[in-house]
Amino acid sequence: MANILIVDDSNSIRDMVSFTLKSASYNTVEAKDGLEGLNAAKRSSFDLVITDVNMPNMDGITLCQELRKLPNFRFTPILMLTTESSTDMKMKGKSAGATGWLVKPFNPEKLLATIKRVIR
């Protein structure tokens, strides 16, 4: 089953995303900020990355840019999990190489449906 990397500084959001994905039998790896996420990405490959935007140490936009520099992650879907519905933030995400975004509030059904749009 697909391996998914979850990057979010909020324990509860991370737990919820991970729980939702596991219940749909995906494998998950969690990281609590961009830096940790990047390190996890350097160690192993993922089929999908779901990342928050606002995080300490390294934000989601920078993480996205950094991931696209890694050979393994050139085509990997990256979804931004964010409450920011402003077009500005979406554009920033896109130009950093994000595949798409998930607008919070986090909704498990919506998350799973959206994932179906980026991985098999």
Q: Which residues are near other proteins by CB under 8 A?
A: 9-13, 15-16, 19-20, 23-24, 54-56, 74-78, 83, 85-87, 91, 94, 97-101, 103-110, 112-114, 116-118
Find the shortest distance in angstroms from Cβ 43 to other proteins. 20
Cβ proximity to other proteins: between 40 and 84 the closer is 84
Cβ neighbours of residue 109 closer than 8 Å, sequence gap 6 or more: none
In order of 16, 63, 103, the CA distances from 79 in angstroms are: 16, 11, 10
Find the shortest distance in angstroms from Cβ 55 to other proteins. 7
Instruction: Evaluate whether 33 touches 11 at the Cβ level (below 8 Å).
Output: no
